[in-house]
Amino acid sequence: MKNRIITISREFGSGGRTIGKRTAEAPGIPCYDRELIQKLAAKSGFSEVYIEDTGESAPGGFLASAFSHRYGEPNNADYLWKVQYQVITELAEQGPCVIVGRCADYILQDKADCLRVFIHADMKFRARRIVEEYGEREASPEQRLREKDKRRAAYHRFYTDMKWGHAQNYDLTLNSGTLGIDRCADIIRGLF
């Protein structure tokens, strides 16, 4: 029988990481977020900073990537995607867990019994959070959010050909800004 896995995709600043951790607490299962980056770093030889950055933009811009794909040149982002594919598949084989980000929903679509979740919130809620919780500079957090959103969507689209944030790609999507972070975790836990 396939393991039950909760995958959480999220807009930057929406609290997806916190919701993932809280969701995992009650059933007492692992939540892979920062730990996943560490595993990818150990296996690929890339730095954690590079991996975090590469998880949020299509490789080398669309044109550069189309060029290298066409002529069969390998690139770091594609190599990292392969490692990521392998690591996430192995984690899902080990047992039930929560995986935040990294296109786990797509990678595991035929390999696990996934509950695919997307967390989002309005700009104001997320801007406040990234300043208060992540210590981001206060000058134009909205601009930073827009850039991050754009890059995550492009990355997701590039590797999965799925539209990021479309309700139809998920089992449930939750607005953490209106529902609250705790309530989002409660709803997901109730579906585990």
Q: How far is the CB of 153 from a second copy (least distance, A)?
A: 11
Q: Binding to a second copy by residue 10, rule CB under 8 A? A: no
Among 34, 69, 124, 183, binds a second copy (CB under 8 A): 183
Q: Does 1 bind a second copy (CB under 8 A)?
A: no
- Residue 120 near a second copy by CB under 8 A: yes
Tokens of 117: 């979740």
- Site membership for a second copy, residue 156 (CB under 8 A): no
C-alpha distances in angstroms, 182 versus 24, 31, 106, 129, 139? 12, 16, 26, 15, 28
Please give the backbone phi and psi of residue 60, each rounded to the nearest 5 degrees, phi first.
60, 20
Closest CA to 18 of 33, 30, 7, 38: 33
| Nearer of residues 96 and 165 to a second copy, judged by Cβ | 165
Q: What are phi and psi of 58, to 5 degrees?
A: -65, 140
The least CB distance from residue 120 to a second copy, in Å, is 5
In the complex, least distance from residue 133 CB atom to a second copy, rounded to whole angstroms:
21
Altogether, the residues listed in the chain come to a count of 192
Pick out residues in 12-71 that bind a second copy (CB under 8 A). Answer: none
Pull the structure tokens for residue 122.
């309005």
Kindly tell me which residue out of 111, 179, 189, 192 binds a second copy, with binding defined by CB under 8 A: 179
Of the candidate residues 77, 170, 181, 185, the single one contacting a second copy (CB under 8 A): 170
Q: Rounded CA gap, 153 and 103, in Å?
A: 11
With b for 16 or more beta-carbon neighbours within 10 A and e for fewer, the 63-81 pattern comes to: eebeebeeeeeeeebeebb
* Residue 94 binds a second copy, judged by CB under 8 A: no
Candidates 151, 165, 189, 192: give the one binding a second copy (CB under 8 A): 165
Q: Are 151 and 56 within 8 A, CB to CB?
A: yes
Cβ 168 to a second copy shortest distance, Å:
5
161 binds a second copy (CB under 8 A): no
List residues binding a second copy (CB under 8 A): 118, 120, 165-168, 170-175, 178-179, 183, 187, 190-191
